[in-house]
Each structure stands twice: as C-alpha cells, then as structure tokens.
Amino acid sequence: MLLSLMIFVPLLGMIVVLLLPRESEELIKRATLAFTLVPLLLGIYLFISYNNPNLEHLWKANAPWIDAFNINYHIGIDGLSVTLLLLTALLGPICVLASWRNIEKGLKAYMGLFLLLETGMLGFFAALDLFLFFVFFELTLLPMYFLIGVWGGPRREYAAIKFFLYTLFGSVLMLVAMIAVYLNSNVINGVAEGVRTFDIPTLITLAGTTGHALADSTFQMWVFLGFFIGFAVKVPIFPFHTWLPDAHVEAPTAISVILAGVLLKMGTYGIVRINMAMFPEGLAIFTNGVGIVGNSLALLGFINIVYGSFCALAQTDFKKLVAYSSIGHMGFVILGLAAGNSAGINGAILQMFNHGVISAMLFLLVGVLYDRAHHREINGFGGLATKMPVYTGITTLAFMASLGLPGLSGFVGEALSLLGAFQEFELITILSTIGIVVGAAYFLWTLQRVFLGQLNPKYEDLPEINRREILTLVPLGILTIVLGIWPNFALDMFSESVTNLVNVLDAI
C-alpha cells in the first residue's frame, strides 16, 4: 500500500498541477516540490524500516489487472530496488529545486511531465510483474521526449527524437523476448500445462527448475539477448551509446540529472533483475570466459570504460565531458556484473547507486556554471577558484568522487567491481584500469582549465553559488562522503539478495 502510494503520488501531483492556473508559478513549483517530497519521505521510511532476513520481497501489493494474459499489478521491494527507489525519490525534489529559476516557458507542463516521469521511474523499480515492468519502463519515454524536446537546447529536437528512437528500438526487442518468455512460462518437458504468467519471482523459480522450457539454455540465450539489447540501449553500452551525449547536452539541467542519475540505472537494474536472475544459463554463455563470446560482457564493460574515458578526455564541452564520463563509469557496472561473483555484483550495484549520486552532482554543478556564464566551453573559463571558492570546493569533491578517490563513494564501487572482475577476467580487468588513470586525467585537466590559473577577466563579477543551489548539492555530497566512509550503510541492503543471486549463478 505504502509502495503504491509512493509510486502514484506524483501522478496525482501531475493531475493537481495541471489543474492549477498557469499564472501562479510559485504555487505550481511549491506544489510540485510537495508532491516530490512525499515519495522521498516514504522512500526514507522504507529504507530505514527495510530489514530482510529471508529474501522475500517486502511491501508487496498484488492485484489482478488483465486476466486475459494473467497480468497482475504486482509490486514489492527488495534490497536492490529499495536503494534505487530511494535514489529516485531523493533526486526528485532536488531536480525540482534545480529547475526553480531556469524554466522560462510552460512551467506547468514541465512540472507535470516531470511528475509523470517520476511515477514511471518509481514504478519501474518496484514492479514485480514483467508486463508492468515493461509498461513502466516505456512510461518514462514520453515525458523524457517532451522534456528534452521542448525545454532543451538548440539541437533539442534531434536529441529528443534520437533518444526516443534508440530506446524504442531496444524495447521492441525486449517486447519480443518478453512474449517469448510468457508463452513458454507454462511449458514443462514440452507439454504446456497450467496458466502462463508474467510474475517475475515465479518466472525466476521456473527458469531454475530443470526440464522447464524457460530453463533451456539456447532459449535463455536468445531471450537474454533480447532483454540485454533493450537494457543496453538504456545503460548505454557501446555501441548503443551515441544518443546519450546529445540527450545530455541538449537536456535542461534537472533532466540531465534524472537521465544520468536514474534512467541509466534502469538499464543496469533490468540487467540484474531480469537478465542475470532469470536467465543465468544465458548469462553463463556470455561470461564463461571462453573465447570472444565468453568474454563479451566483460569486453563490453571494458570498451565502455576505456572508450568513455578517452571520449571524455577529448571533450571541450563541460556537459558532454560529464556525459561521456558517465558512459565510462557505467562500464565498471557492466564489468562487475560480468564477474558474477559476490564482490563484482555488489560493487556493480553500489556503483550504480554511487554513480547516480555523483553524476547528479556533476550535472547540477555544470548547470550552476551554465546559468551564470551561459556557455559550457571548458577553455572559455579559467581561474574561477578565486571568484567562487565554495563552488570550486564542491566541484573538487564531486570530481574526486567521480575519479574514484578512496574515502569517497565512487571508489568503493569501482574497487569492488574491479576486485571481483579480476578473479574472472584478469587481462580485461588490468586493461580496464587504464580508465582509472584517464579518468583522473580528464577531471584534473578540466579542474585546471576551469578553476586554476589566472582569473579570466570576462568573469570578474561571476556570482558565487547561492543557497538554493548549495541546498540541492549538500545532500548528495553528504551521501558521497558517508557512502565512501561507511559503504555497508548501502551494502547491507542488498548484499543478501546478491549472495542469493551469486548462489544461483554458481549453480550453473
């Protein structure tokens, strides 16, 4: 019940906001903020009250929805989803605050769409029914399309349609795979009996039972591919990544934050929740370390890391740099997942959460600078540290966290992923460590070009970061530090579930 409330309060908020008069902008903002705060509070409550000795999904709700296909409204949380729910709920109000001043036109529609988007994301992380899962997954497309396309930068139309087409293409494959799974969900030893089901936990158990059609390894391989490509576009995994830089560069600050903070995680979350948990056999084909195919997943992670880092090194647009850097960091997630052992998967999931927090910070910071200077050309700045020390300090924190400085959250995830991956794919992992150096290189270089050196006289009177912006950044900064010092704070949430998953994988 609480969970449903958490998911649908933003939807309610959208309706309310759309009913408000267009003129009263303050009211609209405050209402939106309120409606995003409710999920945050609920999320915190769920997070705190979450204790899961037996790996059950908590806060379940299960109601029949479409009997014709045995589709149920089935939601619930486990350690994995509760962290991401919290992340989503946390970024909600922050983004509303971040778009407090810089939305010139159609504020009402903007806020409404944003709330719809939040419902989609929350629902996605909570869904336990494959069909519901898919519907929520797609539900985020429309608002995103409009948010980028209407409120974006100069090339917004291109970016928006590109984002839309790429993701839709991915989800098409997912749909086929999904139907295939459903059709085979009641076939045991070649004979169909009983009802078919979309219920994810049930499907997972069925995929484990020998003789069941879902357990067949070739079947699993194809379905795995279908789902994987669908999620890979979202992550994004090379070579499906080209929509990301465009989308980021064009999107308004808050939307970039959501995009990097949550939407990318939807991809990796899906990979863990569906691909790994449901199709371990399929996974094994791509991670057994034999030949190209056997290393493919790890290779993809490696390519993401190195490729993203080098691309970032080449950028002169601040935002594009951050965008490419997040491609690189998602690579660590893929690498850790490919490892398939406790350290790797835990690291990957932790990295998901941390990257959500850190990249959100980075994009917020870019937005702060953009609102003042109205451009993002890295070489156009210089010596800002003298004018805006606080901003510089926070940026340094974010950069250091992002380049994986120990003591900050970015490190733990990366280190665990690498430690885990090394046990399975030694060479690939060693090569991936290039990403660590290059990551340091481009962040420090940016730091130097933007903040160090002589103050660029153009920016003699650049105002220092203001209270509202600091307010948006501080919670994320605190999370970064806390998770860096005490990762168990998040790890305890999902480590049991991961252990369970690892046992399933080892059984193969």
Print the binding letters for residues 404-433 with another protein: x by CB under 8 A, - otherwise: -xxx---xx--xx-xx--xx--x--xx--x
Candidates 89, 144, 348, 502; binder of another protein (CB under 8 A) is 502
Phi, psi of 191 (to 5 degrees): -110, 135
Q: Is 16 in the site for another protein (CB under 8 A)?
A: no
Residue 382 interacts with another protein (CB under 8 A): yes or no: yes
> Which of the residues 52 through 81 are near another protein (CB under 8 A)?
64-69
The number of residues that bind another protein (CB under 8 A) is 100
The H or E element containing residue 72 is strand 71-77
| Interface residue with another protein, options 20, 37, 61, 180 (CB under 8 A) | 180
Helices and strands in the chain: count of H runs, count of E runs = 24, 4
Considering only the stretches 135-143, 185-193, 286-294, 297-305, report the one whose residues sit in contact with another protein under the rule CB under 8 A.
135-143
- Taken in order 259, 267, 242, 143, the sign of the CA dihedral is negative
Separation of alpha carbons 318 and 249, rounded Å: 9
494 CB neighbour count, 10 Å cutoff: 26
Candidate list 4, 33, 37, 138; residue touching another protein; CB under 8 A = 138
- Tokens 């810089």 correspond to 102
95 near another protein, rule: CB under 8 A: no
463 binds another protein (CB under 8 A): no
d(C-alpha 445, C-alpha 502), whole Å: 39
The token pair at 370 is 């953009």
- The stretch among 29-37, 209-217, 342-350, 366-374 that binds another protein (CB under 8 A) is 342-350
Tokens 């309060």 label which residue? 9
The verdict on 491 binding another protein (CB under 8 A) reads yes
What DSSP letter does each residue of 135-178 carry, written as one string? HHHHHTHHHHHHHHHHHS-TTHHHHHHHHHHHHHHHHHHHHHHH
Shortest spacing between CB 231 and another protein, in angstroms:
17
Q: Dihedral angle at the C-alpha atoms of 231, 350, 357, 418, nearest 10 degrees?
A: -90
Smallest CA-to-CA distance from 415 within 497, 339, 361, 357 is with: 339
Among positions 315-334, residues that touch another protein (CB under 8 A) are: 315-316
Instruction: Report CA 480 to chain centroid distance, whole Å.
Output: 16
| Centroid of chain to Cα 138 | 15
Told to check if 314 binds another protein by CB under 8 A, we report yes
Helix (H, G, I), strand (E, B) or coil at 215: helix
Q: Does the footprint of another protein cover residue 183 (CB under 8 A)?
A: yes
Residue 243 or 363 having the CB closest to another protein: 243
Contact between 163 and another protein by CB under 8 A: the answer reads no
> Least CB distance from residue 56 to another protein, whole Å?
17
Angle at Cα 10 formed by Cα 7 and Cα 12, nearest 5°? 105
* CA 475 to the chain's CA centroid: 18
- The conformation of residue 187, written as its DSSP 8-state character, comes to E
List all residues 6 or more positions away from 250 whose beta carbon is below 8 Å from its beta carbon: 148, 152, 153, 154, 155, 156, 158, 159, 160
Tell me which residues in 105-134 interact with another protein (CB under 8 A).
106, 134
Considering beta carbons, is residue 27 or 314 the nearer one to another protein? 314
Is 33 a binder of another protein (CB under 8 A)? Answer: no
Instruction: Give 43 or 308: the residue with its C-beta nearer to another protein.
Output: 308
Residue type, position 37, single letter: L
Q: Work out which of 19, 168, 293, 427 binds another protein, going by CB under 8 A.
A: 168
Within 10 Å of residue 440's Cβ, how many Cβ atoms? 17
Determine the 3-state secondary structure of 7 from DSSP.
Answer: helix
Cα separation of 325 and 248, whole Å?
12
The residue behind tokens 């991936």 is: 432
Residues 344-363 as x/- pattern, contact with another protein by CB under 8 A: --x-----------------
- Minimum Å gap between C-beta 350 and another protein is 9
> Could you tell me which residues come within 8 angstroms of residue 164 by beta carbon, excluding any fewer than 6 positions away?
141, 144, 145
Burial-class residue 311 by CB neighbours within 10 Å (0-12, 13-18, 19+): buried
Rule CB under 8 A: which of 238-267 touch another protein? Answer: 239, 241-242, 245
The only residue of 12, 60, 445, 475 in contact with another protein, by rule CB under 8 A: 445
499 lies in the site for another protein, by CB under 8 A: yes
Exactly one of 133, 164, 198, 228 binds another protein (CB under 8 A); that residue is: 164
For residues 203 and 198, what is the distance between their CA atoms, to the nearest angstrom?
7
Q: Which is nearer to another protein, 43 or 472 (CB)?
A: 472
Kindly tell me the sign of the dihedral angle through the C-alpha atoms of 29, 469, 319, 265.
Answer: negative
* Nearest distance from C-beta of residue 407 to another protein, angstroms: 5
- Minimum Å gap between C-beta 333 and another protein is 16
Query: C-beta of 78: minimal distance to another protein in Å?
Result: 15
Please say which residue, 25 or 138, places its beta carbon nearer to another protein: 138
Decide if residue 310 touches another protein (CB under 8 A). Answer: yes
Q: Does 386 bind another protein (CB under 8 A)?
A: yes
Interface with another protein (CB under 8 A), residue from 88, 256, 268, 342? 342
The one among 12, 217, 495, 508 contacting another protein by CB under 8 A: 495
Cβ distance to another protein smaller for residue 209 or 242 = 242
311 scored as a contact of another protein (CB under 8 A): yes
- Residue 60 near residue 75, CB atoms below 8 Å: yes
Q: Is 456 in the site for another protein (CB under 8 A)?
A: yes
Report the residue number, 5 or 427, with the smaller CB distance to another protein.
427
